[in-house]
Amino acid sequence: MTAAGRPPPRPEIIEAITGHRSIRRFRADPVDDATLDALIACAQAAPTSSHKQAYSVIRVDDSATRAILAEIAEEEEWLPIAPLVLVWCADLNRVRTVVHAAGQPAAYDNMEEFMVAVIDATLAATYAYVAAELIGLGGVLVGGLRNDPARVTEALRLPELVAPLFGMCLGFPDEDPQVKPRLPRPVVLHQDTYDPTGLVAEIAAYDDIVSSYYQERETNRRRTTWTSEMIRKFAQPERPHMRAFLESQGFRFD
């Protein structure tokens, strides 16, 4: 049922998508190559800025490389054993190579093209992730790779103008966690112009919902609210090394 009070068309699709939760425990069953191929086809079907397709994805099976990624992300419990590990990368190397090979200059070194690559990679990953969930897989994204993106780059031998953004672990779920409540719709969806009216009251109510979720969920119960989590998350700049790393990979932000 939507907030508007009527069931949406094809409610089973909406229910499947809104039933998302990150999965961090997997059955041993592998994800076969045909399934991976289908997921990458879905990723490639995503919209892409001016058809630039400015991303690459690295499948990581090698156990030594997995161990490095797990150490970097501090996710040693499940990253080494997840049936499928993909690392999604912003990639301006491919377009630059092709344009240069045609003997033409390429203005890749600016903020806009960096954003294009990040947006393209994220959309592609999202299509693959949603497709995976719709066919019964589950998984989790791994932003922790950005704890040491230079080491990830070295381990995956990423060339200049390719930057790891996040990992994605996928497999058949071996847990059934609760759905984590999202922000109230009115603070996310605005009509015609941005309207912050009612934000404080909406978030206070949401904090109660999130607090109950954290106290009632099956694992890692704790007393917290969304506001407390955001205060903690925003107490200090996260990963202040990112700009220097990206510049060392050849990205520019002018």
Ligand X SMILES: Cc1cc2nc3c(=O)[nH]c(=O)nc-3n(C[C@H](O)[C@H](O)[C@H](O)COP(=O)(O)O)c2cc1C
Residues at the interface with ligand X (CB under 6 A): 20-22, 73, 75, 140-144, 166, 180
Residue closer to ligand X (CB basis): 20 or 52: 20
Report in angstroms how near the CB of residue 180 gets to ligand X at its nearest. Answer: 4
Report in angstroms how near the CB of residue 35 gets to ligand X at its nearest. Answer: 21
Report in angstroms how near the CB of residue 170 gets to ligand X at its nearest. Answer: 13
Cβ contact 93:55 at 8 Å? no
Cβ contact 175:215 at 8 Å? no
Residue closer to ligand X (CB basis): 26 or 166: 166
Report in angstroms how near the CB of residue 126 gets to ligand X at its nearest. Answer: 9
Residue closer to ligand X (CB basis): 178 or 197: 178
Residue closer to ligand X (CB basis): 42 or 95: 42
One-letter amino acid for residue 136 of the chain: G
Question: How far is 11 from 184, CA to CA, in rounded Å?
Answer: 20
Report in angstroms how near the CB of residue 95 gets to ligand X at its nearest. Answer: 24
Residue closer to ligand X (CB basis): 59 or 180: 180
Residue closer to ligand X (CB basis): 140 or 162: 140
Sort residue 244 into left (φ over 0), alpha (ψ -120 to 50) or beta.
alpha
Cβ contact 149:182 at 8 Å? no
Report in angstroms how near the CB of residue 6 gets to ligand X at its nearest. Answer: 25
Tokens of 59: 């499948």
Cβ contact 109:36 at 8 Å? no
Residue closer to ligand X (CB basis): 108 or 226: 226
The per-residue DSSP string of 27-92 comes to: -S----HHHHHHHHHHHHHS--GGG---EEEEE---HHHHHHHHHHHT-TTTTTT-SEEEEEEEE-
Report in angstroms how near the CB of residue 142 gets to ligand X at its nearest. Answer: 4
Question: How far is 227 from 61, CA to CA, in rounded Å?
Answer: 38
User: What residue number has its CB nearest to ligand X?
Assistant: 143
Cβ contact 190:170 at 8 Å? no
